[in-house]
Amino acid sequence: MIIDAGWYMALASVLFFIGALGLLIRRNALVMFMCIELMLNAVNLTLISAGRALNDLNGQVAVFFILVVAAAEVVVGLAIIVAIFRRRSTASVDELSEMSG
């Protein structure tokens, strides 16, 4: 059975908006981080399915790059979150509003 690329796209957009919504309403830095990952992988999914549908390898190549960069980003991001947690004993980002104008 061949599933139409449109379904993958729909799934990706659903995942993306779940991620975006989570990012906007959750306060826990760790959860927000996971939401970002969700959005990122939603985009990866679109790239892969578009590449497949258009018979173009570039889509998959791009995803590999994104995965590598995302792995690095996760390392840095988690390190920051751990550092903040150690200092503030909280993971709520609303506590971190010192940069307000």
Partner 1 sequence: MTDYIWLIIALPLTGSVLLHFFGRYLKEPLSGWLASAAIGGSFAIALLGALPFFEGGEHGTTIHLWDWMPAIGANLEILWDPLAAFMALIVTGVGLLIHLFAIGYMHGDDRFHRFFANLNLFAASMLTLILAGNYAMLFLGWELVGLCSYLLIGFWFTKKSAAAAAKKAFIVNRIGDLGFMVALMLVFAAFGTLSYTGVFERAGAELTTGTATAIALLLFVGAAGKSAQIPLYVWLPDAMEGPTPVSALIHAATMVTAGIYLIARSAAILELSPTAQVVIATTGALTALWAATIAISQRDIKRVLAYSTISQLGYMVLAVGTTAYVAGLFHLMTHAFFKALLFLGAGSVIHAMKDEQDMFKMGGLFKKMKVTGVTMAIATMAIAGMPPLGGFWSKDEILAATFERGGWWSVLWVIGLVTALMTGFYMTRQFVLVFMGRPRWSEGVGPKESPRIMTVPLVVLAVLSAIGGLTNTPIRLTLEHFLEPSFEGVHIQHVPESTVLLIVLALLSVAAGLAGIVAAYISYRRDEKDWREFEDGLQPVWGIWEDAYRIDDLYGKTIVAPGKKAAEVAAFRFDLPVIDGAVDGVGRFFQRLGEWTRPIQTGYVRNYAALFLGGTVLVVLWMLVGGA
**Binding interface with partner 1 (CB under 8 A):** 20, 23-25, 27, 32, 93-94, 96-101
Q: Considering beta carbons, is residue 55 or 100 the nearer one to partner 1? A: 100
Q: Considering beta carbons, is residue 68 or 83 the nearer one to partner 1? A: 83
In the complex, least distance from residue 77 CB atom to partner 1, rounded to whole angstroms: 12
Task: Quote the Cα angle for 78-18-95, to 5°.
Answer: 45
In the complex, least distance from residue 50 CB atom to partner 1, rounded to whole angstroms: 15
Taking the alpha carbons of 77, 81, 84, 86 in that order, is the dihedral positive or negative?
negative
* Residue 3 three-state SS: coil
In the complex, least distance from residue 9 CB atom to partner 1, rounded to whole angstroms: 14
In the complex, least distance from residue 24 CB atom to partner 1, rounded to whole angstroms: 5
Q: Considering beta carbons, is residue 70 or 81 the nearer one to partner 1? A: 81
Q: Considering beta carbons, is residue 56 or 95 the nearer one to partner 1? A: 95
Give the DSSP per-residue string, 71-97. HHHHHHHHHHHHHHHHHHS--BGGG--
In angstroms, rounded to a whole number, what is the distance separating the alpha carbons of residues 40 and 34?
A: 10
In angstroms, rounded to a whole number, what is the distance separating the alpha carbons of residues 42 and 31?
A: 16
